[in-house]
Amino acid sequence: MLSRRKPAQPGSTRASSLWPRKSGIAAVEFAVISPVMLSIAIGAMDTTQAIVMQRRSIEVAQQVGEIATLLAIQPNQTTSLTPTQAQQAESVIFAILPQLRSLVGNPTFAVTISDVVFTGTEPNYTANMAWSVPLSYGMDVYRPCGVVNQTTPTGTQRGSNTGDHWTTVPTSGMSSSLSSVLVVDVRVQFTPFFLNLITGSFTIYQTAYFNQRSIVSSYITYDTSADPNVCPGYI
């Protein structure tokens, strides 16, 4: 007895014929979308690294200032910073950013300690640069002598990456009883790992300001008259 063949279900042949077509469309979609998704992932990694570098640069500026103002206090409560002490404070950058150790001698980073002295009476007082000493490794950058422009403080925001970064301090409207402030400038060149060909390298700037820890001295002196970065009248 011949077996009767089961008729094919309506539409099954059509569905099976569409399967190769659907898989081909999926492959094309993946080929189009995957480069975009990969670029987003790579960009996110570089952005994260830049944010980490920025936060660590802030930490460097804060730690250098804390150490420098502490080392400057003398037994008689006057304040003076020696070249050795300045280098000790500035070298904190290697503890917080150890990858910079391999870049010593290359112009890719800088740490500078400066002292700004206020003269005159409130509110018409003038900010003057007393001295500015860079770390002797990497990029030696110092603030120029002379009158320093004062900008209005903006809350907790400290530092700027504008062109006048090295000639301003955010002290406008502050009390002249400060006498002086210690200024720590940090700049680190950041090179993206993946997007370097697109964005190139750029510099991260951070600045922190510290009141001196003694009221005996009018400002923190730099204990050497031979340093060319000590401004006239503040030796």
**pLDDT tens, residue by residue, 78-92:** 899 998 999 999 999
pLDDT band at 160 (very low <50, low <70, confident <90, very high): very low
Q: What is the pLDDT of residue 115?
A: 93
pLDDT in tens, 133-148: 988 777 778 888 888 8
Half-sphere exposure of 43 (CA within 13 A, CB side): 8
Sheet architecture: strand order including 202-211: 146-147, 124-134, 109-121, 180-190, 202-211
Average pLDDT over residues 19-34: 63
Q: Which two tokens stand for residue 18?
A: 């569409």
At 178 the pLDDT is: 63
pLDDT band at 28 (very low <50, low <70, confident <90, very high): low
